[in-house]
Amino acid sequence: MMLRNIIVRASLYTCSVLPSVLRRGIHCSAISYRRDDRKTLLQSVMPTDEGVEGEKSQNIEGMKYYGMMTPTLETFSTLFGGIRYDNLPVAHVKISQNNTIINVTDHLGVIYAIGSCGTEGFKNARKGTNIAGQATGIGVGTRAVKKGVKQVRVRIKGLGPGRMASIKGLQMAGLDIVSITDCTPIIGKEIRPRKQRKL
């Protein structure tokens, strides 16, 4: 107690003796540096990670389309790398909120390569990220390229964070994506409401 009083008296004495410029340096605290303006505070905060390019939103007007946008009857007889469109291998991509599953098959359904976020080493909540979806696309794509697959059609089903990232991963692996078909099921009737809670 005695030592504390001596320290307090000494600090008061030095504050009264020292010039005002030095006194401000001693007595400044974090509260004096607080930003009252919320706008400047929010501008100083780092922006959140939006993930892979095109994951959140896609600018359709700025995209360049090559060839046909809408398939016609002649599309099935079109040759891509010497193979008819309907005989091309298919990359089936199933996306959910928690996982991404990709398998590459031929047009009859024989599997060339299969993989998911779990086989790529991601566990628990990390399986539901766009980085895990991209890593899965790269892993499955490289295994398919080793088996001789060059061009693929992509059939994507479901909604989740790895939707665009998995397609980007297949592209990064060296596969030439000819077409992307969205096969996500749409509910045509009303969803049944939850039962009433009993207390």
Q: Tell me the three state secondary structure of residue 17.
A: helix
Domains in the chain: boundaries: 2-39, 73-182
* pLDDT score for 78: 85
pLDDT digits (tens, 9 = 90+) for 94-145: 999 999 999 999 999 999 999 999 999 899 888 989 899 999 999 999 999 9
Among candidate residues 110, 118, 186, 185, the one with its CA nearest the CA of residue 148: 110
Tokens of 99: 């996982």
Q: Tell me the three state secondary structure of residue 178.
A: strand
* pLDDT score for 82: 87
* pLDDT score for 75: 81
Q: Of the ranges 12-26, 48-62, 172-186, which one carries the lowest mean pLDDT score? A: 12-26
Better pLDDT: 100 or 23? 100
Binning pLDDT at 50, 70 and 90, where does residue 13 land?
very low
| Angle at CA of residue 78, ends 76 and 180, nearest 5° | 65
Examine the pLDDT at 34 and tell me if it is beyond 70. no
pLDDT digits (tens, 9 = 90+) for 59-95: 544 545 445 567 778 888 888 888 888 899 999 999 9
Q: How many residues does the chain have?
A: 199
Better pLDDT: 188 or 140? 140
What is the average pLDDT across 5-17?
47
Q: Does domain 73-182 have CATH number 3.30.420.80?
A: yes
Report strand pairing: 151-157 vs 90-95.
parallel
pLDDT digits (tens, 9 = 90+) for 163-178: 889 999 999 999 999 8
d(CA 124, CA 144): 26
* pLDDT score for 81: 84
Examine the pLDDT at 186 and tell me if it is beyond 60. yes
What is the dihedral sign for C-alpha 134, 100, 115, 91? Answer: negative
Is the full-model pTM beyond 0.75? no
Report strand pairing: 176-182 vs 90-95.
unpaired
